[in-house]
């Protein structure tokens, strides 16, 4: 694909197919993502549809839940052997498809990774047929990076060959003619007016035009066949005009004794050479825009140490295996200085792990038994045994790569401008080119300008032809098409390295307009790990019995406060695996608390409103404890048994370090901060006061949060919602930009537009600042791409010629066109130098300066 016209053609062809829900084609990544109904059509049909538009397609993947492995099998003697192996593999649960390539003894298997894996396939293959088969992982050289490198090499070879043939054409037409001795040789007549120089230029220019330049003819034919016009059409028309006019000069020279005309062989061959150089440099630069994905994909090590354990859990043996052979529930050994091979949790040992390459967290994170580790992160000092939980396409790293790839395919709304212009751009340029040629030709024929304007080596027809060709080849729709996607590609890649995952151009465009941020309280502004700090009983019962009832009700709830109460109850009972009494008729009242029947007693655990709704009176002592807790930014929880308040709990969830500074920076950026919480007004006011937030919405249900956001949007605000993604989904979806904070490895939060992998509030500022910088770059790219075409086309048409005698030869116009595309890509690449805002470098957290 050369420009947005190509990608739009493919996208339209895919969208028109019955059964396709959504199709996206990305010019920069040269990939298509298609959501379709497999009951109606297959992926082979999709590939045929793409090939029908004149482009080649290679299947990358067929679904997110699937993994694929290719195995090379030695020992196959005939088709019966392959049939036996296929039957054995199909009997394995989790195997989806099997493709056999008998000519190279290869089997490709797609499978569900949590059900089976490559080691199982190898064991089954090698146990089939009395052990005469041997299976190994097929050496794969067809990765996307390999394909990109092939494209780079192809353009480089084409350019070198083109240069080899173009240099003699250039020398004979522009250099050697000024060397007297050589000029005499070049001027020697062969037939009539045909001299050696003209024949040499024709011989050297022809392979450049038709062999090296064949790709432009093919591209133009495919585009025109589908009723569209792209960059290849302009190049083919421009070079053909120069070449075939030159061929006409050769033909006249052969058959005429008096004809004198100038050829433009150097124009066509130099045009193709410069355009190929531009394409080579452009492909090289475009490869650098996707380096973020390449770096992420290269994080995992090539091998892992697999442990075999006995029934007691003692290590029996260990062996080094290819990382692609790791399966779910394997136990792997991670030594100091090595990378963690796959996602899992530590079952033995402790260490510090550097997770900066995945989450952006600068400090090594302590890991001990029970802690989760992420594949691709670096183990610093200790030895750990890790039980694998996620492999292949299910791993956190694969999900991040998939999310970033999907983001780079998603079009920003601003790109609609380029898509709209590209529909009419090429036809308009062809009309302008023909008009330019006709205007200059008629002006020359009718003597509308002085004869002195015509260069001594030309006539008025040739001058007009040069102006027409220059207009055709200087126009560049490619620069317009690359303006947005290259910037989005680099911006999302930079975000990924900072632990800020931006889901495409739409999220970027919305984020740069944000002028109001709504913060959830628990887990967003606060640490998110509530602790019970005070317990006051109002009934004659032991604290142990009180927590027996309370925990029995709360153990069924997912709320962070409920979990904190259960954890505290475990400490009171001094049993980590304590069995709580069964709770009957359990009901969770969203935003208020829970109620149930435990040991034949009605129990309610919740806030003041819940008690009042159930006509339970609250004593003055209990009110006093609640007020005191609220003044200390703690949450007061009431527990009632059989209609009477039995006790009050105070739960503390302190403000995150640096929250006040982040709110202050947002204020300086003219961004309004609002806190929304289901907690009571007293606690909400205390937390907001500490954070420096003036506007508060308290005692809000999850659906109320979404309603409040819609009200803010109606008031003219572009709203971002920041939540932990647990119970904030309605609000995250309602907001213009939903930000899920502290996602960790759970990066596939559907409701969020931006996923912040760490719990740091400062990442919100990084996300908004990166969006601003990326969008500024998109605007600059558009300004350059549009400005270039608006200025270059009139200059190429000869607008300055009457006053300055300045004209652009077609080969220089072609070089300018190639340079304009390259300049847009290089402009986007400058985003790779992104530095986080300097305001964050001077933050003070609890009196400690962070630099």
Catalytic residue among 520, 724, 736, 769: 520
Q: Is the dihedral of CA 845, 848, 849, 851 positive or negative?
A: negative
Phi-psi group of 805: left, alpha or beta (phi > 0 → left; psi -120 to 50 → alpha; rest → beta): left
Between β-strands 672-676 and 695-697, what pairing exists: parallel, antiparallel or unpaired? parallel
CB 39 within 8 A of CB 18: no
- Chain-centroid distance of CA 541 in Å reads 58
| DSSP letter assigned to residue 175 | T
CB 109 within 8 A of CB 69: yes
Rounded distance between C-alpha atoms, residue 524 and residue 149, angstroms: 44
Nearest to 192 by CA among 262, 251, 255: 255
* Strand residue runs (E) in 350-460: 351-354, 365-367, 372-373, 378-379, 384-390
Distances (CA, A) of 212 to 169, 217, 220, 586, 838: 15, 10, 15, 76, 51
Q: Is the dihedral of CA 407, 413, 418, 419 positive or negative?
A: positive
Q: Which residues contact 384 (CB under 8 A, 6 or more apart)?
A: 333, 334, 346, 348, 349, 350, 351, 367, 373
CB 413 within 8 A of CB 506: yes
CB 646 within 8 A of CB 622: no
Is 520 known to be catalytic?
yes
| DSSP letter assigned to residue 678 | S
β-bridge mates for residue 589, sequence order? 593
For the CA atoms of 753, 61, 483, 762, the dihedral, rounded to the nearest 10 degrees, stands at 30
Structure tokens at 730: 């309605």
Rounded distance between C-alpha atoms, residue 705 and residue 350, angstroms: 41
Q: Give the residue carrying structure tokens 């998110």.
A: 528
Q: Give the residue carrying structure tokens 């011989």.
A: 203
Q: From edge to edge, which strands make up the β-sheet containing 365-367?
A: 365-367, 351-354, 378-379
Q: Which residues contact 330 (CB under 8 A, 6 or more apart)?
A: 306, 342, 387, 388
Among all residues, which ones are annotated catalytic? 520
């Amino acid at each position: 694909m050369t420009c947005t016209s190509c990608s739009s053609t493919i996208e339209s062809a895919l969208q028109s197919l019955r059964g396709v829900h959504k199709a996206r084609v990305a010019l920069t990544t040269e990939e298509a993502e298609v959501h379709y109904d497999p009951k109606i059509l297959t992926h082979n049909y999709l590939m045929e549809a793409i090939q029908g538009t004149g482009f080649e397609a290679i299947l990358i993947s067929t679904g997110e839940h699937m993994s694929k492995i290719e195995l090379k099998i030695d020992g196959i003697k005939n088709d019966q052997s392959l049939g036996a192996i296929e039957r054995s593999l199909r009997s394995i649960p989790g195997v989806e498809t099997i493709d056999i390539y008998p000519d190279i003894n290869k089997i490709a298997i797609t499978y569900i990774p949590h059900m089976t894996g490559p080691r199982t396939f190898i064991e089954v293959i090698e146990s089939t047929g009395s052990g005469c088969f041997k299976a190994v992982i097929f050496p794969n050289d067809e990765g996307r990076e390999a394909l990109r490198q092939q494209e780079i090499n192809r353009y480089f070879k084409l350019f070198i060959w083109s240069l080899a043939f173009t240099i003699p054409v250039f020398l004979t037409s522009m250099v050697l003619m000024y060397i007297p001795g050589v000029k005499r040789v070049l001027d020697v007549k062969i037939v009539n007016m045909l001299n050696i120089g003209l024949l040499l230029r024709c011989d050297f220019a022809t392979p450049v035009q038709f062999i090296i330049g064949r790709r432009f003819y093919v591209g133009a034919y495919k585009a025109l066949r589908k009723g569209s016009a792209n960059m290849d059409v302009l190049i083919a028309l421009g070079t053909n005009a120069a070449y075939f006019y030159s061929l006409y000069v050769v033909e006249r020279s052969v058959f005429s004794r008096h004809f004198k005309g100038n050829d433009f062989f150097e124009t066509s061959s130099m045009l193709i050479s410069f355009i190929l150089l531009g394409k080579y440099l452009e492909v090289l630069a475009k490869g650098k825009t996707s380096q973020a994905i390449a770096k992420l994909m290269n994080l995992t090590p090539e091998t892992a140490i697999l442990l075999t354990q006995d029934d007691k859990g003692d290590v029996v043996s260990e062996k080094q295996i290819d990382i692609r052979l790791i399966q779910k529930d394997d136990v792997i050994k991670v030594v100091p200085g090595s990378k963690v091979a796959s996602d899992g949790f530590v079952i033995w040992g402790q260490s510090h792990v550097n997770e900066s390459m995945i989450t952006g967290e600068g400090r090594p994170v302590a890991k001990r038994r029970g802690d989760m580790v992420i594949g691709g992160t670096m183990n610093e000092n200790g030895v750990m045994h890790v039980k694998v939980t996620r492999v292949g396409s299910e791993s956190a790293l694969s999900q991040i790569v998939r999310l970033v790839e999907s983001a780079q395919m998603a079009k920003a709304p601003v790109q609609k401008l380029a898509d709209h212009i590209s529909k009419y751009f090429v036809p308009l340029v062809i009309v302008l080119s023909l008009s330019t040629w006709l205007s200059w030709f008629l002006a020359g024929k009718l003597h509308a300008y002085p004869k002195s304007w015509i260069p001594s080596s030309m006539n008025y027809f040739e001058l007009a032809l040069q102006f027409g060709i220059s207009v055709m080849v200087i126009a560049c729709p490619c620069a317009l098409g690359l303006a947005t996607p290259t910037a989005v590609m680099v911006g999302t890649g930079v975000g990924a390295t900072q632990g800020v995952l931006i889901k495409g151009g739409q999220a970027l465009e919305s984020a740069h307009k944000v002028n109001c941020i709504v913060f959830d309280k628990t887990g967003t502004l606060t640490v998110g790990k509530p602790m019970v700090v005070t317990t006051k009983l109002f009934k004659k019962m032991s604290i142990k019995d009180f927590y027996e009832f309370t925990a029995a009700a709360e153990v069924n709830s997912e709320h962070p406060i409920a979990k904190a109460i259960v954890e505290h109850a475990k400490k009171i009972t001094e049993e980590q695996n304590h069995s709580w009494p069964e709770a009957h008729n359990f009901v969770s009242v969203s935003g208020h608390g829970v109620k149930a029947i435990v040991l034949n007693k009605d129990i309610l655990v919740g806030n003041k409103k819940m008690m009042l709704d159930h006509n339970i009176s609250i004593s003055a002592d209990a009110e006093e404890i609640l007020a005191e807790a609220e003044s200390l930014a703690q949450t007061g929880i009431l527990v009632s048994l059989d209609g009477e308040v039995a006790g009050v709990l105070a739960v503390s969830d302190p403000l995150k370090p640096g929250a006040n500074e982040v709110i202050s920076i947002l204020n300086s950026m003219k961004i309004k901060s609002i806190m929304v919480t289901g907690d009571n007004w007293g606690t909400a006011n205390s937390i907001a006061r500490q954070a420096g937030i003036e506007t508060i919405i308290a005692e809000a249900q999850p659906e109320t949060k979404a309603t409040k956001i819609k009200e803010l949007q109606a008031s003219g605000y572009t709203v971002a919602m920041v939540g932990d993604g647990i119970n904030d989904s309605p609000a995250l979806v309602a907001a213009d930009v939903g930000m899920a904070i502290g996602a960790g490895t759970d990066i596939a939060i559907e409701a969020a537009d931006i996923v912040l992998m760490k719990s740091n509030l400062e990442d919100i500022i990084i996300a908004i600042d990166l969006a601003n910088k990326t969008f500024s770059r998109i605007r600059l790219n558009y300004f350059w791409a549009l400005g270039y075409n608006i200025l270059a086309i009139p200059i190429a048409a000869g607008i300055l010629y009457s006053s300055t005698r300045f004209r652009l030869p077609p080969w220089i116009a072609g070089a300018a066109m190639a340079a304009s595309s390259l300049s847009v890509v290089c402009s986007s690449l400058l985003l790779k130098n992104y530095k986080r805002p300097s305001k964050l470098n001077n933050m003070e957290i609890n009196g400690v300066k962070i630099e």
